[in-house]
Amino acid sequence: MFSTYRQQWFGHIRADILSGLVVGLALIPEAIAFSIIAGVDPKIGLYASFSMAVVIAIVGGRPAMISAATGAMALLMVTLVKEHGLQYLFATTILTGLLQIIAGKIRLANLMRFVSRSVVIGFVNALAILIFMAQLPALYNVSAWVYVFVALGLAIIYLFPYVPKIGKQIPSPLVCIIVITALALLFNVHVPTVGDMGKLPDTLPMFLIPNIPLNLETLQIIFPYAAAMAAVGLLESMMTATIVDDMTHTTSNKHQECMGQGVANIVTGFMGGMAGCAMIGQSMINIKSGGRGRLSTFFAGVFLFILVVFIHDWLKVIPMAALVAVMIMVSISTFEWKSLTQFHKNPSSSNVVMIATVIVVLATHNLALGVITGVLLSSVFLANKLEKQLQCQITDTDEQRIYQIQGQVFFSSAKKFVQLFEYQHSQNRIVIDLEQAHLWDVTSIETLDQVIGKFKRNGMGCEIRGLNAASVQLLQQHATQAQLHLS
């Protein structure tokens, strides 16, 4: 255990430090933008991004994943900030963390197994589109130099890795930021910079206890917001962790990540920051830049803190065009292009789930709603598929008719199950063979009773055979007439 943890910290020191530099820079405009969305001072988002990254690096369950202030969380706190103020936001952030720790303890991350691959692809594609769309305002009504710098930045990002000897040693996004900044200063080009995004903090964050009444009324105010933020934060974090797992061909501890997110949000609340969660965009930057260990996440937070508090005068001169180029690269690399090239090969139900997830996310800007929509659609399609697989083979003799049922009997297939039988024919004895079938729920038991009742009203005897142990146990838990006909 200790050796694994040590490897996660010190297994890729040089790559983690360099990738952390890139991510630290990329966090700044996002944190400021999300602070504006939430209606708070930019320092609230910047403090949150610093503390989330540092704490999650220590206690999280997915190395190299970046957590900070996010847009989805910011949207959930707008009304709270507007109606009750910052102190209630800090208290809500702390309560969000407590709920996430509880979720980790009761192992809610196990619910991720219900998220299909189609939902994950839809989530990824929607997020890639949102990341790209978020860069568009920086390209409106600007000088031609901005477009030149963005194009040059993209060229550096994609071509620098092919430079002999050093191309694989230094992350190309970092080279992009350095070169574009140097050119802007050298030629005295006036383009939008990080300093134009908003006022950067010049003081250290301080430990504080939210100044709010500790009573039931306060809990009634903050709990609904905290519950929503805890759910959205965990959902985004689990989805991001799954994607990073796939990209790095490694596994992560989702339950530990849930609790880590909770601890990080509690610390953030006490440091005067807004609630946050995992960020897929910055996580992709980290992975693409070579980050693989906890040190990359930790260093991203520390470097962000040093930049905004101690050397913000240097930070202010970085052209936004350089960061836009990096985020466009993230958008392109995040999008699952195979979902388009293989669209005609995929099952139609998978395509519908993916497209629905994308549409809902783009329409609401709420990743959680998109994922929930995708999961519900996947469930409906699965139920429909199982219903279609329910079949019946009929064998007649002089005295009896045997119905051999194959498939799953549950609430969705119950109506079809009833329709498999003919309730008026010459045989007086009916055998329902369920050896190749399974009864899943109370609805299936009640449906079997209904079938037996119809045969009895027509004067026919009925025998049930081949029922498996789990189905028999379900029958025994409910007093039904089907039990009387078991053979």
For residues 324 and 394, state if they share a domain: no
**Residue 360, domain member (yes or no):** no
Burial of 112 (0-12, 13-18, 19+ CB in 10 A): middle
Q: Are 175 and 168 in contact (CB under 8 A)?
A: no
Q: Do β-strands 391-396 and 400-409 pair in parallel, antiparallel, or remain unpaired?
A: antiparallel
Structure tokens at 486: 């078991």
- The H or E element containing residue 442 is helix 442-457
Give me the residues paired with residue 406 across strands. 391, 436
- The span from the CA of 462 to the CA of 445, in Å, is 15
CB atoms within 10 A of CB 68: 33
Listing DSSP states for 341-365 in one string gives HTGGGS-HHHHHHHHHHHHHHHHH-
Using alpha carbons, list the distances in angstroms from residue 174 to 125, 193, 259, 279, 397: 25, 16, 32, 19, 80
**Residue 380, domain member (yes or no):** no
For residues 329 and 395, state if they share a domain: no
**Residue 381, domain member (yes or no):** no
For residues 213 and 76, state if they share a domain: yes
Structure tokens at 399: 């005295």
If one counts the domains in the chain, the total is 2
What is the DSSP-derived secondary structure letter of residue 441? S
Question: Going by C-beta distance under 8 Å and a sequence separation of 6 or more, which residues neighbour residue 142?
Answer: 191, 192
For residues 233 and 112, state if they share a domain: yes
Q: Which domain holds residue 443?
A: 389-485
CATH (domain of 463): 3.30.750.24
Structure tokens at 79: 């009304």
For residues 332 and 393, state if they share a domain: no
**Residue 371, domain member (yes or no):** no
Q: How many CA atoms lie within 13 A of 112 on its CB side?
A: 24
The amino acid that residue 54 corresponds to is: V
pLDDT in 10s for each residue of the chain, 487 residues: 677 878 889 888 999 999 998 898 888 877 887 887 788 888 898 899 999 999 999 999 999 999 999 877 887 888 899 899 899 999 999 999 999 999 999 988 887 777 888 988 898 888 888 888 888 888 888 899 999 999 999 999 999 988 888 887 888 888 898 999 999 999 998 899 888 877 777 777 888 899 999 899 999 999 999 998 998 889 889 888 988 998 898 989 999 999 999 999 999 999 999 999 998 888 988 998 889 999 999 999 999 988 888 887 787 888 989 888 988 888 888 888 988 888 888 889 999 999 999 999 888 877 778 888 999 999 999 888 888 888 999 888 878 889 999 999 988 888 898 888 888 876 778 888 888 998 988 888 888 888 888 888 888 888 888 888 888 888 777 756 666 666 6
For residues 26 and 175, state if they share a domain: yes
The amino acid that residue 118 corresponds to is: S
- The span from the CA of 101 to the CA of 260, in Å, is 7
**Residue 146, domain member (yes or no):** yes
